Amino acid sequence: MPQIDSINFSNYTALYLFIYSLFLATYLVSNLLSILFFQYTLEDYKLLGETALTGLLIFGAITLLRIGIRWIHRILKVGQLERWRNEVLIGLVGVAMCGIIPRVVVHFVEIREWTVYYSLIVFTTSAILFGITFLLNTDSECQFTYSLHDKTSWTLILTHTVILAATVYLGINLSDWQTSTVIVLCHVSFSAMCAVSTVEIAMILRGAFRLRLDEGAVVVHKSE
């Protein structure tokens, strides 16, 4: 079994977002093959287009958010440590919200067969984009002050893999799309997404964050 440290994940959120990225890539490839080799209906193409358009809009919104945050930092002359810390916190909060919003919205929207599919694709993509935009870009400048443990990491990998596989399987094979069934599916699918990020938000606020310096020294943020 490979060691997690050798894969160079900076935090647990980045680790499980990697699992979501693999899932999303596999899912998109399978849908592309379905389009090429099976007959899609007009409604299927419409849903695919709406999903792609939503993804582009989310990407644009997150990019504008990062530009706005960095502009505010320059105007306020925020220090380097605080600047990177704020970006990491925004990324973690964004990922956590992607796990909370669908579990709330599902109680108020009209339940259809594509509800789980659309929610899973859109909010998973949003979480990954938050991670790429605000977490991965900071690895060369700063780091968390705790290290990832292999046992915990593999537990997260297996848990998220089982949840995603079960959700996709049920979404494909489920014939009884009752409101209660879809609500349960959404809660199960997104419950694990925000848990780890929420814990890491608390750890950063408590000071588990430092700045990398060329001299080899570190500046550690301590919450007041």
What pTM does this model have? 0.78
Alpha carbon separation from 188 to 109, 162, 163 (Å, rounded) = 18, 11, 7
Do the beta carbons of residue 164 and residue 63 sit within 8 Å?
Answer: no
**pLDDT band at residue 67, thresholds of 50, 70 and 90?**
very high
d(CA 100, CA 191): 8
Could you report the per-residue pLDDT of 159-206, keeping only the tens digit for each? 777 777 776 676 666 555 566 666 777 777 777 777 788 888 888 888
H-assigned helices in 77-149 = 80-105, 115-130
pLDDT of the residue at 208: 76
Alpha carbon separation from 196 to 21, 42, 129, 158, 173 (Å, rounded) = 17, 39, 17, 14, 29
Q: Which residues pair with 143 in a beta bridge?
A: 210
Whether 21 shows a pLDDT value over 80: the answer reads yes
d(CA 203, CA 215): 26
For residue 12, count CB atoms less than 10 angstroms from its CB and return exposed for 0-12, middle for 13-18, buried for 19 or more.
buried
Whether 212 shows a pLDDT value over 60: the answer reads yes
Within 8 A by CB and 6+ apart from 91, the residues are 13, 130, 131, 133, 134, 135
pLDDT of the residue at 19: 80
